[in-house]
Chain A
Amino acid sequence: MEKHVDLNRIGLALTDYKGKPSTLCPGCGHNAISNQIQSAIWELGLPPEKVMKISGIGCSSKSPNYFLDRSFGFNGLHGRMPTLATGACFGDSSIKILGISGDGDTASIGMGHFKHVIRRNVPMVYIIENNGCYGLTKGQFSATSDQGLRLKHQGVNLLPPLDLCMEALISGAPFVARTFSGDVKQMKQLIKAALSQNGVAVIDVISPCVTFNNRDEALQSYSWGREHEAPIQGIAHFQSREEIQLENFEEGTFREIQLQDGSYMVLKKIDTDYDPTALHAALDLLTESYKYHYFATGLIYFSEVPPTIQDMYDLPDEPLNRITKDRLRPSKESLEAINVSLY
């Protein structure tokens, strides 16, 4: 009997979006992210060849090998992923960029590039797989580790954590979200929405390290996350307006936003009047959630996308990396004119 295989709108199966088998620890939060990335892109019907994966160094940055085998990938240097993406984005601007990083990669060694890639508005989905520690070097504190955290070989963390959503907000990111490896439903909707935009979109995914930092009291553990998660809204992504199903939404409690690729994001109010388009509200939310120890997840901030770095250069529609040689060399006459002007 032939097995039924679901195909997406471009006729590909989910297996067409798979990567190599993961070599991360069983139960690693990052594997959940890899799964959601591939199913989000499959559901969007984006050909894998239309995506490139760029990462830095660390457990998180290894993970692009474990999804989207048919997408180009570049596992670069520690902290420098945003710089690679900055150059690569000009090769073919029709290719969606998935930047995969970790908390060590982004918040410690790569903080400068993180903020500048946002400032430049390089069109990419920037995912931080944030586990509050260094996994690949076996359990050191990162810049997002909570103050007072105790790790086996490290003792007690004396320093307060940095909040990467806060950093993204004040750097001007037009899409900032936080989600959790233990809340894959929300994570997938956020990834789909982010991919439907054309500016930089930052998603900070709290993604437990089951080997080095998963004690119940740790901010980035599964159990702390499950107990303290407080989604700020329900979120769903729809390919078209016709697909939006609102049976479960009461009148006036949802907000429908059209995204840049024409698809829709619907935000469902939960129990507050949180406005994700108000920057001060987003900053307040992050400050409060750390202060009062709750775990706010969802779309933290959303604004109109400013011109991207690509928009600023008035480039041809044709990919720059396919422009033929003869169109790249100025004429002989123009050089003659330069020679004359330099006499």
Chain B
Amino acid sequence: MLETTQKSVQGNERIVNEVCVAICTVNGSGSATANSILYRSLFRMGILTSGKNIFPSNIKGLPTWFVIRASARGYTGRVAYDDVVVALNAATIQQDVTYLREGGVLFYADHLEKPEIKDKEVIVYPMPIKTLMKQVDVPRNLQSYMENMLYVGIVGQVLGIPEEILKATVDHHFRSKPAIAESNFNIVKLGFQYAFENLEKKDHFYLEQLPELSDYILTDGNNAGALGSLYGGLQFCAWYPITPATSLVESAIAQVGKLRKDPETGKNTCVILQVEDELAAAGATLGAGWAGLRAMTSTSGPGISLMTENIGLAYFTETPMVIWDVQRVGPSTGLPTRTAQGDLSMLYTLGHGDTQHVILIPGTVTECFEFGWRSLDIAEKYQTPIFVLSDLDLGMNTWVTKRFEYPNQPIERGKIIREEKLEEFKDWGRYKDLDGDGIPYRTVVGNLSPKAAYFTRGTGHDEYGNYSEDPKNWSDMLDRIGLKLKGVVKDLPKPVIRRAKAEADIGIIGMGSTHDAMIEAQDILAEKGIQADYMRVRALPANSAVREFIASHARNYVVELNRDGQLQQILSLEISEYSEKLISISVIGGLPLTAAWTVESILGKEKKGGKTC
């Protein structure tokens, strides 16, 4: 493991608000509730924190890990070591302790065999989970779920989470069921009290309360994407379940009834429909977009494969629709519960023939909300499919993120024309470029003007939608669509650029969920004397700011979670005059990026003069 950039704990050092805690459990055992209570407690203490669920593609019985990283400095990307291991899984306990650093801490359920720790000093706290549970009166069927609350109390006490914070987060978690909140908190308290009376603090890790993070919330990217879509005026969503995209639509289902009642009639203004497969999901979404509804579907890589033909049809018939791709690891079924950035190349030119798609790439949960509504606007304005490229880490993990901001511009419906407007045109044609921007005017079903209808087809068509095999007509049609997509760039999110504190020779470029690790890597590089500017690409096709950034650095390291460096390849093609300034740093194992690996890789290349090897 490349961890040379992270020093381990020594002597009597007191480490405050910088700790990585791994909770090692069995999936299906109910530990998710306990873990999220611990996580939220740190957040409520005002500490910037991340929580990453590393889980199996399984329902019950396999190992699962929840890793909380608290960092008051804001470095919340993944690290490949643990400071604290909370071991509750007999099957993995021996392996779990190997991730501890010197001076690390082990909490373990004392009914498990105590693991052997040879090569390092580790502070061990046994947790008498089964013995303590005998002291409380809980229904037998809930016992194994509720015993998780004991480690919340024990770990909370030893690391220094105030009791009232634990109480507040338990109450928050069970806010609709106060009685259940109370019985759970009683168990938290039991653990808290036990640790106070029986465990002598010997480790180095301390949590201390900071000012409230009042500008922040705690939620996942899929929930944010769903809400962004609902606030973006989503009217139709057809979908098919697939990990890790499912929770996006499920979040929408949970909130649509409350958020999307027509203020005038009290009726529903958004339809969410589960269909028989992803072909149907894309087909129905396309049908709705064609019929004048703001339409979206959400899936992951394998679903995109199935949707491909319909998305090509949407592209060529110039029908707006939004497709969320919450990426998992491919090819094939791949690793359904692990994260990756391997769908970028596929999406960019998805479909046969000449295609080119617009991709929005959120890098924070707040951006998932923002791109949720923006994507619908851009799709309707440019009459084309828009992808929003998220991933499992961003979509399914809960993040400390900036509060959602209400959309700062009204809903954009583009050039939809109704009966009266149609009358103003002397010679309207569905695919006629009347404004010189490549974007035609469109009518939708229900328009009762006898001139409104047109025949939509995926075959060759002229400006009026009539069938045509004429060579010039064909190339004119594709050129106009190309023109339209050149225009879209001005409406796409600009890259986020974080400058080095001094003049920087090199650039580091990332996208999506690797943001936190990239920022940390940038700062570690600076500590090592290498000034690097950081740019996070937020959309393709790339705009001029991306070009300028690349041009202004001698070397740009493009860091991404896939095998071949897909972003680096696309940027090299699009900005070919600077292609030799673009160096790929990519890794794929299904886990989120770490700053340490990024720094090691960049240093390695820098030693070789920045040449690709």
Binding site for B on A (CB under 8 A): 20, 47-50, 52, 54, 64-65, 69-77, 80, 82-92, 94-95, 112-113, 116, 309, 313-323, 325, 327-330, 332, 334-335, 338-339, 342-343
Contacts and interface: CB of A to CB of B under 8 A. Distances in A.
Interface of B: 44, 216-219, 227, 230-233, 235-236, 238, 258-260, 262-265, 267-269, 271, 273, 275-277, 279-280, 282-295, 309-310, 313, 317, 403-404, 406-407, 410-411, 413, 418, 443-450, 452-459, 466-467
A188 to B, nearest CB: 23
Given A86-B275, A116-B280, 15 more contacts: A49-B449, A64-B455, A74-B287, A74-B455, A76-B313, A84-B286, A87-B295, A90-B288, A91-B290, A112-B276, A315-B267, A317-B265, A325-B410, A328-B269, A334-B259
A315 B271 contact: yes
Contacts of A95: 445-446
Contacts of B456: 72-75
Contact of A65 (B294, B448, B455): B455
Nearest to A335: B406
16 contacts: A48-B453, A72-B454, A72-B456, A73-B454, A77-B313, A80-B280, A82-B280, A86-B283, A90-B271, A91-B290, A94-B446, A313-B271, A317-B267, A320-B235, A325-B413, A335-B227
B562 to A, nearest CB: 30
B455 A87 contact: no
For the complex of A and B, list the 3 residue pairs with the smallest distance between their C-beta atoms, beginning with the closest. Answer: A91-B291, A83-B283, A87-B287
Contacts of A335: 227, 231, 404, 406
A104 B279 CA distance: 17
Contacts of B273: 86, 309
A63 to B, nearest CB: 11
A326 to B, nearest CB: 8
Most A C-beta atoms less than 10 A away, residue of B227, B284, B290, B452: B284
A115 to B, nearest CB: 8
Nearest to B295: A87
A342 B288 contact: no
Main secondary structure of the interface of A (DSSP, over half): mixed
Given A321-B293, A338-B227, A86 B284 contact: yes
A73 B287 contact: no
Contacts of A320: 235-236, 269, 271, 293
Contacts, number: 212
Contact of A83 (B218, B267, B275, B291): B275
Contacts of B238: 83, 86-87
Contacts of B284: 83-84, 86-87
A316 B446 contact: no
B140 to A, nearest CB: 33
Nearest to B309: A77
A87 B227 contact: no
B363 to A, nearest CB: 19
Contact of A87 (B277, B291, B317, B443): B291
Contacts of A317: 265, 267
A77 B283 contact: yes
Contact of A49 (B44, B277, B406, B452): B452
Given A49-B453, A75-B459, A329-B233, A338 B404 contact: yes
Contacts of B287: 54, 74, 83-89
A329 B467 CA distance: 39
Given A322-B446, A328-B269, A75 B259 contact: no
B458 A90 contact: no
Nearest to B457: A75
A335 B413 CA distance: 22
A88 B287 CA distance: 4
Contacts of A309: 273
A87 B283 contact: yes
Contacts of A72: 443-445, 452-454, 456
B279 A83 contact: yes
Contacts of B289: 87
B293 A70 contact: no
Contacts of A85: 287
A6 to B, nearest CB: 19
A92 B313 contact: no
Contact of A330 (B260, B288, B294): B260
A325 B227 CA distance: 17
B453 A69 contact: yes
A109 to B, nearest CB: 10
Contact of A71 (B258, B263, B404, B453): B453
B236 A90 contact: yes
A247 B309 CA distance: 55
B268 A73 contact: no
A323 B270 CA distance: 11
Contacts of A325: 233, 410-411, 413
A49 B231 contact: no
A65 B453 CA distance: 12
A86 B280 contact: yes
Contacts of A88: 287-288, 290-291, 445
Nearest to A64: B455
Given A87-B288, A321-B292, A313 B447 contact: no
B263 A327 contact: yes
A316 B265 contact: yes
Contacts of A94: 446
